[in-house]
Amino acid sequence: MVQAKRWILTKHFEGFPKESNFQLQVEELPEPKDGEVLLEALFLSVDPYMRPFSRVRMKEGDVMIGTQVAKVIQSKNAAFPAGVHVVGRSGWRSHTISDGSDLTPVMPDWPQDVSLSLALGMIGMPGLTALYGIEEVLGLKAGETLLVNAAAGAVGSVVGQIAKIKGCKVVGSAGSDAKVAFLKELGFDEAFNYKTVASLEEALRKAAPEGYDCFFENVGGPFSSVALPQMNDFGRIAVCGSISTYNDTQPQTGPFPHMTMIFKQLKMEGFMQSRWNTKHPESLRRLMGWLKEGKLQNREHITKGFENMPAAFMGMLQGENTGKAIVAV
């Protein structure tokens, strides 16, 4: 018998999430049955997508959605023997009984000197999102200029680094001077603090007077309306996120993009990394390879304690994190 903690969504978010949207519950878990395993969470992920997905994938009273790196501590499933590490879609739970259908073993030959938490970040969903956005959606080519916003976040920071590996000029927008300094460390060619520039339009133009060939969109909203006219002809836009609108109670509005899209013959595509899941194993190996070669640098923003999940989630939505936001149990 194990005492398991879990975080419930008590009420759907209205506007920015509040403490009162969450409730911590404790339950006694039974022994795993045949085919089942008992998991203990080591690291849990808090990601922007949880805000909009809470509305479409959850009902009030459900355990908050999310992935975690967990250790199998009891096993009656030969595919997941005790002691192995997995990435589980278990939600915000300290311990979980699973039949294995929602588990993926952590990549084989995971290096000892790389934290397993990266399986939730650069060598996990956010890293794959960056990679597929660049390769499958944008088709980014050497010599092109790429714009990425929320650039110091879990996805954006990998986007910019992969674009540098591919021989591109990279411009990043972020929300603090410390984040801008971080982007420069990562090798971004240009970076600015969108909260303090006098004019976003001028900042974008100054960073790339030649215009943008590709735009990795994590922010949406008014930022998109300013960036779109600075795309070059035949520019491509990978729509990965829209964090500036996730907490709207009334949808924000902006000018329609159609005229700009026609005149410049732009292509804009929304995507989720799951579309290419047959490529995941090979893609994770490539990401790990770049990390080991020193071509990718990792940064995490770690919150300690399972009881701090809501605070970590809300902090991430407010941009407190540089790099991947992780909760370490």
Which residue from 3, 10, 25, 252 is in contact with a second copy, where contact means CB under 8 A? Answer: 252
The least CB distance from residue 119 to a second copy, in Å, is: 23
| AA letter at 245 | T
The least CB distance from residue 255 to a second copy, in Å, is: 4
DSSP string, 3-30: EEEEEEE-S---SS--GGGEEEEEEEEP
Structure tokens at 188: 């971004």
The least CB distance from residue 104 to a second copy, in Å, is: 22
The least CB distance from residue 275 to a second copy, in Å, is: 6
Angular region, 83: left φ>0, alpha ψ -120 to 50, beta rest: left
Which residue from 153, 220, 310, 323 is in contact with a second copy, where contact means CB under 8 A? Answer: 220
Could you tell me which stretch among 112-120, 161-169, 250-258, 299-307 binds a second copy (CB under 8 A)? 250-258
Could you tell me which stretch among 69-77, 120-128, 151-159, 257-265 binds a second copy (CB under 8 A)? 257-265
The least CB distance from residue 235 to a second copy, in Å, is: 10
Tell me whether residue 256 or residue 294 sits nearer to a second copy (CB atom): 256
Could you tell me which stretch among 85-93, 164-172, 248-256, 306-314 binds a second copy (CB under 8 A)? 248-256
The least CB distance from residue 202 to a second copy, in Å, is: 20
Whether 213 and 18 have beta carbons less than 8 Å apart is answered as: no
Size of the site for a second copy (CB under 8 A): 34
Could you tell me which stretch among 111-119, 138-146, 170-178, 235-243 binds a second copy (CB under 8 A)? 235-243
Whether 60 and 11 have beta carbons less than 8 Å apart is answered as: yes
DSSP string, 181-207: HHHHHTT-SEEEETTT-S-HHHHHHHH
φ/ψ (deg, to 5) at 166: -85, 5
Tell me whether residue 129 or residue 321 sits nearer to a second copy (CB atom): 129
Region 263-282 residues binding a second copy, contact defined as CB under 8 A: 263-272, 275
Which residue from 255, 281, 289, 305 is in contact with a second copy, where contact means CB under 8 A? Answer: 255
Could you tell me which stretch among 204-212, 238-246, 289-297, 305-313 binds a second copy (CB under 8 A)? 238-246
Region 40-79 residues binding a second copy, contact defined as CB under 8 A: 52, 56
Which residue from 77, 94, 173, 242 is in contact with a second copy, where contact means CB under 8 A? Answer: 242
Angular region, 204: left φ>0, alpha ψ -120 to 50, beta rest: alpha
Q: Count Cβ neighbours within 10 Å for each residue of 162-173 and write b for 16 or more, e otherwise.
A: bbbebebbbbbb
Whether 220 and 242 have beta carbons less than 8 Å apart is answered as: yes
Q: Which of 214, 191, 197, 159 is nearest to 324 (CA)?
A: 159
CA 144 to chain centre: 24
CA 129 to chain centre: 7
Whether 292 and 111 have beta carbons less than 8 Å apart is answered as: yes
Could you tell me which stretch among 1-9, 37-45, 112-120, 215-223 binds a second copy (CB under 8 A)? 215-223
Whether 157 and 174 have beta carbons less than 8 Å apart is answered as: no
| AA letter at 229 | P
Kindly state whether residue 312 participates in binding a second copy, applying the rule CB under 8 A. no
DSSP strand pairing (22-29 vs 2-9): antiparallel
State how far the Cα of 292 lies from the Cα of 294, in Å rounded to an integer.
5
Could you tell me which stretch among 4-12, 77-85, 89-97, 256-264 binds a second copy (CB under 8 A)? 256-264
Region 136-195 residues binding a second copy, contact defined as CB under 8 A: none
Which residue from 187, 229, 254, 319 is in contact with a second copy, where contact means CB under 8 A? Answer: 254
* Contact footprint for a second copy (CB under 8 A): 52, 56, 217, 220-221, 224, 239-242, 245, 251-272, 275
